[in-house]
Amino acid sequence: MKLVVGIDIGSLTAKIIVLSVSEQKDDNFNQKYSFIRRVGYNPAAVANDLISKAMNALKVNNFDYTISTGYGRKLARTNENITEITCHAKGAFSINSKIRTIVDIGGQDSKVIQINNSGQVQDFEMNDKCSAGTGRFLEVMANALEVEISEFGNQALISTDPASISSICTVFAESEVISRINQGTNRLDIIAGIHRTIAIKIAALAARVGINPMVALTGGVALNPGVKKMLEDQLNVVIEVPEHPQMVGALGAALIAAERLQ
């Protein structure tokens, strides 16, 4: 058996997956190791550290093929780097072959990917010029409202009267939230308003691609139930969230590495 690696270097977190691969051309891939950690000021060092830790954990001196993807994919010392659009499509389709639309919301960007019956990318739209609606945006808003980020999405679901948050720019939205606080607006309503604004922005991105059920939500923000629910309302679809939505890109990279090796 051979070992292949997919590593996804995002703007906020880095993820790694190691698969064991048969030397015959089949789909008998077994996950041997996975890990996720924060990315600091040195993504290259983080990527190399993840690979070293995986080697130590599996007691090997090298891997047979490695592919990097994500925000800092070109910084990792791997055999190949591949765009996250391709890797997310591959990973999501491997989890559920009925998926036709992938909404990925990461730390610094968001994207909507449409795939065909074979899992091939047909079209996509990406917002990487502004952090509005991303994980970083949510962290800034949660900090302004003094709420733990892990509870932010749950609190968004409590409100029945979401406040209007018109700004989508992170800086301006933070100022608007502070103004709402000073006006005495209920905190839960502000939180719900923030999540609704994100859903509206992502829905506008999706409209340029088209939404074909089934829809999967990936990336770290997929763990936020408020974003999921309000995005479902905006798109009028049921959204599936994989068990480990942050790992989809790394999984796709590892699967492509397995194909390259075979």
Residue 23: count other Cβ atoms within 10 Å of its Cβ: 10
Is residue 137 within 8 Å of residue 167, measured between CB atoms? no
Output the pLDDT for position 157: 96
Please work out, in degrees rounded to the nearest 5, the angle formed at the alpha carbon of residue 50 by the alpha carbons of 255 and 20.
35
- Cis geometry, peptide bond prior to residue 126 (ω within 30 degrees of 0): no
pTM of the shown model:
0.92
Helix or strand (DSSP H, E) at 145: none
Chunked into runs of 10 residues, the chain (262 residues) has average pLDDT values of 94 95 74 94 92 96 96 91 96 97 91 96 84 81 92 95 81 81 92 92 92 95 96 96 97 96 85
Where does residue 47 fall: left (phi above 0), alpha (psi -120 to 50 degrees), or beta otherwise? alpha
**Cα separation, 90 vs 27, whole angstroms:** 13
Output the pLDDT for position 130: 63
Output the pLDDT for position 24: 66
Domain boundaries, the chain: 2-90+247-261, 98-241
Output the pLDDT for position 96: 97
Please work out, in degrees rounded to the nearest 5, the angle formed at the alpha carbon of residue 221 by the alpha carbons of 219 and 227.
130
Question: CA gyration radius for the chain?
Answer: 19
**Cα separation, 208 vs 210, whole angstroms:** 6
Is residue 154 within 8 Å of residue 226, measured between CB atoms? yes
57 phi/psi in degrees, rounded to 5: -65, -35
SS3 221: helix
SS3 31: strand
Output the pLDDT for position 253: 98
Is residue 252 within 8 Å of residue 244, measured between CB atoms? no
Output the pLDDT for position 169: 72
Domain 2-90+247-261: CATH class, spelled out: alpha beta
SS3 99: coil
Q: Which CATH number fits domain 98-241: 3.30.420.40, 2.70.98.90, 1.10.1130.10, 3.30.300.30?
A: 3.30.420.40
Query: In sequence order, which residues have a C-beta less than 8 Å from that of residue 162 and are 6 or more positions away?
Result: 189, 192, 193, 195, 196
Output the pLDDT for position 132: 65
**Cα separation, 140 vs 147, whole angstroms:** 10
2-90+247-261 matches 98-241 in fold: yes
